[in-house]
Structure 1
C-alpha cells in the first residue's frame, strides 16, 4: 500500500516537472496522451481516454526519458461506460508512476488544477510538444456521462486528451478529455474525468487510497465488447446548440440542437436523448410542437419522421426515436419548443447522447449544449 505524506503546494514549475515524468505521448492511428498510473515489477500501466485509442492498429508510446514502446490495439482494455482505457507495457527502465490524490471527490470547485499533455503540431509548435496549463475546477457535474464529471477553466488543445490533471501538490486528480464549443459566444468548456472514476473500477470495494492496479492476467468480462452490442465506428458530433431568445421568462422559445452523423459512422442513428444536466429550473417542452429536420437552423431541409418523442420529468430527459433511422452522412437538427425560458439568469447545460440502431446499442455522449439566459436589462 502506498503511504501519503503531508505536502504543501508546489511551484508551477515543480508541478510541470512531475507532469512530464508521468505523461506519455501516444501516436499511431490516433494521437493523444496517457498517464503512467502503476508500476508492478517491470510492468507499467498507462491510463488514457478511450477515444484516443479506439481505432484498430499499432500505437507507439514515448515516455519522458525518450523510450518508445509498441502497443497493439488488441492489448488495450476499455473501461465500461466511461471514456477511459488502459494498457500495459514491459520495460527494464525506470519510469515514474503518478501519485494519486486519495479521494478526488473532495476536490472542490475553485481548486487550482494543472492540465498537461502532448499537443498536436500547430503553427506555434510544428512538432508535438509538451505543455502544462494552469486553471481551476469550475463545475462538478452529477451523474456524469462517459465519466466527464468536471468542467475546468484550463485551455486544452488537441493531443492533450488522456493527459493528467494535477492538483497544486502534483497529485493526479483527473484525466483530460473533451472540449465543447458554444458557437454563439465562441467560448469552449473543457471537461475532465475525476480519477475516482478509474479507481472505482480498479478497486470497487476499497475505501483506502488507490494508486495502482495489478496486471490483468486475462480479459475482464465486464469490459469485453459483445458482438451483439452496436457502436458507432465514428461517433456523431454535436455541432450547434442555441435558443432563439436568451431573455428570461420568454414564452414559446425554440431550442436547437444540431448533430452531424459522419459518412463513416458505421451504422445509422436510431435515437437521440437530450438531458438537462445543469440549471436552477426544469425546462418543460411542448413535444407536440417539437420535431427534427435535416440540415441546420439556417439551412433547413425536410422534416424527419419520428417513431416516438417522450419526456421523463424525473430524469429531465427528452428522447427522440427515428423511423426510419438517420443514414450516415446526414446533418440533423432537433427543434425543441420550450414552453418558457427560466425565470432567473444562469447557465443551463443539456447533455446530448446518440444511439445507433439495434436492440442492444451503446449510446455515445456527444457533449453539452450550453445555453445562457439573461435578465435583458
Structure 2
C-alpha cells in the first residue's frame, strides 16, 4: 500500500508551504492484527440471554486504588434496564459501574474498575477507508451447535460501500459472516487500529448468510462523544471510590490548511490531538464551538499531557520525548517511530522535547512530533494531511 505525507503549514509571509513525500507502509499480517484485537475485545453479558454483545476497551484512567476502563459498544446491547457485566480477555468478570448513551448513533460508553492492567485500542481514521480495503472485526457471538459458551471470533472482510446518509450512524458497509452477540465489537484496519463499531447485519434469507454488515465509523463517535448522556446504572456493585475526575485538556489554537486557507477547529480529545479531515469540533461547556476566522500561527504553546503509567501493548516500545501520543496510555509500535524518524530526516529537522519552545509541531492522527526550527521550517504547527502517522 502506498501513500504520501503532505505537510500543510500556516500562511507565513503570504505564502503557503506544502511538501509531498512518498512513503511505503507495510500492513500488519492478519495474525498480528488478531493479537492486538484479542487483547482489547470484551464480552458483554446482561441478566437475560437476549442481552449479549461485545465491546472494545478504548481508554484507561488511573484511580486512587484501581484503574477505571472505558468500553465502547452499541446502545442496543445495553439499552434494557438490567444488570451488565464485562468479561475481559483474561477471563475475569467485571461489573459495569457506569453507562453513557451517545445521542445520534447506536453507541454507548461503559465503565468498569479493576486493579489489573488491560490494553487499550489505538484509534484509526475512518475517513481514510474506501471500497475494497480489507478490515477485520471481532466479538463474542452466542454459542451455536457444539459450543457450550460464548467464544472469541476474528473475521476478515472487505469494505463494500460508504453511505452518505445512514440510520443510527451505520455508514460503513462490509462483507463477511456475522453472528448474534457480536454487536458492539470493534472493526480494525490493516494496522490494527479501531475504525468502526460493528452492529448491524442485513440477512438475505435462511441459509444464505448476510447481504452485508454495517458499522459506525469511529470518527462519528468522536464527533458525537461530547453529547454523551448518563444512564441510570442498572447494577448494585460493591461500593468503591468515586470515578476519578477527568481534567479537560485545553483546546489548541486552530490549524491552517495550505489548500483552502481556512482555519480548522481543534478536535475532541478522548484519545485526542487534532485529526485530519472531518474532525469533530470541541464542545465547550456542552455548547457548539464557533469556527474562528483564518489567523497566522506563530509558534503557539502546546500543553503536554503528562502520561500515566505506560500501557503494555504487544510489540510496543517506549516513546521518545519528542513524540507525544494522541492517547497518553498508548505506547507506540516500532514501525511508527521509524516512519516518524524518516520524515524528520527528509525534512532535515532535529527532534526536540515537546516541552521546549520555540519548536516545530507536526500534528498527526496518532502522534504529535516536535523538532527544532530550521531555515526551511520556521516555528509553528504543521499538519500531516495524507497518510502520515
TM-score between the two structures when normalised by the length of structure 2: 0.50
Q: Which among 198, 201, 216 is matched to residue 221 of structure 2?
A: 198
Shift of 1:13: 1.1
1:211 and 1:97 mapped to 2: Cα distance? 12
Aligned to 1:51, which of 76, 80, 86?
76
Deviation at 1:183, TM superposition (A): 3.9
User: Which whole-Å CA distance do the structure 2 matches of 1:20 and 1:105 have between them?
Assistant: 24
Deviation at 1:185, TM superposition (A): 9.5
The 1:68/1:187 distance shift into structure 2, 3 A limit, reads closer
Partner residue of 1:20? 38
Secondary structure (helix, strand or coil) at the match of 1:81 reads coil
The 1-side partners of 2:163 and 2:115 are apart by: 41
Structure 1 unaligned residues grouped into runs of 5+: 1-5, 214-219, 223-377
- CA gap 1:64/1:139 in 2 versus in 1, 3 angstroms: same
Matches within 5 A, 1:101-250: 101=124, 103-183=125-205, 186-188=208-210, 189-202=212-225, 207=266, 212=271
Q: TM-score, normalised by structure 1?
A: 0.51
Q: What is the CA–CA distance in structure 1 between the aligned matches of 2:147 and 2:206, rounded to whole Å?
A: 29
Distance 2:83 2:104 in 1: 24
Cα distance in 2 between the residues matched to 1:27 and 1:46: 13
| In structure 2, C-alpha distance between the alignment counterparts of 1:183 and 1:32, rounded to whole Å | 23
Task: Give the Cα separation in 2 of the matches to 1:211 and 1:51.
Answer: 22
Check conservation: 1:109, 1:139, Cα contact below 8 A. yes
- 2:195 is paired with a residue whose SS is strand
- Superposed displacement of residue 212, structure 1: 2.8
Aligned residues: 209
Equivalent positions of 1:293-308 (< 5 A) are none
Structure that is richer in strand per residue: 1
Counterpart selection for 2:103 from 80, 94, 97: 80
Q: Which runs of 5+ in 2 are unaligned?
A: 1-23, 228-263, 273-284, 288-389
Distance 1:10 1:187 in 2: 28
Partner of 1:62: 87
User: Using the alignment, how far apart are the partners of 1:38 and 1:54 within structure 2?
Assistant: 22
Q: Distance in 2 between matches of 1:184 and 1:52?
A: 24
Name the Cα RMSD after superposition: 2.7
Distance 1:11 1:184 in 2: 33
In 2: Cα distance, 1:173 partner to 1:190 partner: 14
> Does the 8 Å CA contact 2:177/2:209 hold for their aligned counterparts?
no
Deviation at 1:15, TM superposition (A): 0.8
Paired position in structure 2 for 1:39: 60
Asked which structure has the greater RCO (Cα within 8 Å, sep 6+), the reply is 2
Deviation digits for residues 233-261 of structure 1, max 9, x if unmatched?
Answer: xxxxxxxxxxxxxxxxxxxxxxxxxxxxx
CA deviation string 1:31-60 (max 9, x = no partner): 110110111212211000011111111111
C-alpha deviation, 1:195, in angstroms? 0.5
Shift of 1:113: 0.3
In 2, Cα distance between equivalents of 1:203 and 1:110: 32
* Equivalent in the alignment of 1:97: 120
**Contact residue 104 and residue 224 of structure 2 kept, 8 A:** no
| CA–CA separation in structure 2 for the residues paired with 1:108 and 1:207 | 25
- Report SS of the residue matched to 1:129: coil
